Amino acid sequence: MSAGTSDRQPRCTAPRAGGVAKRLNWRPAVLANLRRGPDRDASLRCYADLAQDYERATSRIREVRSRAVERLALRVGDTVFDVACGAGAMLPDMARLVGLQGLVIGIEQSPHMAALAREASQGLAQVEVHGCPVEEFVAPCAADALVFVYAHDVQQNQSALQAVFARAKPGARVVAAGLCLLPWWGMPINAWVLWGARRYLTTWHGLRSPWQQLLHWCPNLQIVERFHGGTTYLAVGTVAPARAGGDERGRG
């Protein structure tokens, strides 16, 4: 999900029916995504259309989500931020790992997606879904772990990153996963990736190394796994003490 802001209003809403018309209406998104940064309004419009069929349409990333949760190495009592949590697919698994003593916070700016996330985590007392832009997120406590899964727009937004890392404990575990472009020899595959991703993010900027801005807070961030022919990465690291904004007091 996007956490960016802009006054630009690209056409980004597709009809729900009519195959040819739908393809033509999505075409402007390919060009609009050449913008240098994420666009919140465009993202909200896109995800209003995507939400209804989101989980079925993104079934191919289930393994990536599962591996991301495993790599977080959550413990009972941990607090974890799921940044741009989307429909909340990972929230129940993380809730099970942190237990009732822990806290899982999903952050999602799209009202339609946040509603799905609340539905996915219904009955789990240790889960909160904050329906707000990431840069406006106010954390109730410091995080032991943060996860960014297919959150490209957020990772290109300094204000959004500052908001979540401001409440990260020193040494907090960080996992990031999502799309990335191949080197020059992968141009045909890159074109296919960009076409498939056109509705799910609002800027192509940074796709060659989408983890780059996270290095400010996590200098030891390293790519540890690749998926989908190398077009999906999974990186892990920890928040450097000098960059951490959270404290050690945890909840409360």
Judging by beta carbons within 10 Å of its beta carbon (0-12, 13-18, 19+), is residue 170 exposed, middle or buried? middle
CB 203 within 8 A of CB 10: no
212-231 pLDDT, tens digit per residue, is 999 999 999 999 999 999 99
The answer to whether residue 247 scores a pLDDT higher than 70 is no
Stated pTM of the model: 0.86
Which residues on neighbouring strands pair with residue 128, listed in sequence order? Answer: 105
User: Which tokens belong to 1?
Assistant: 């999900």
DSSP-derived secondary structure letter, 58:
T
pLDDT of residue 246: 61
Q: Is the pLDDT of residue 251 over 50?
A: no
Q: What is the pLDDT of residues 165-200, one digit of tens each?
A: 999 999 999 999 999 999 999 999 999 999 999 999
The residues facing 179 across adjacent strands are 232
Average pLDDT, the chain: 88
Per-residue DSSP letter, 136 = G
Nearest CA-CA partner of 33 in 236, 224, 181: 181
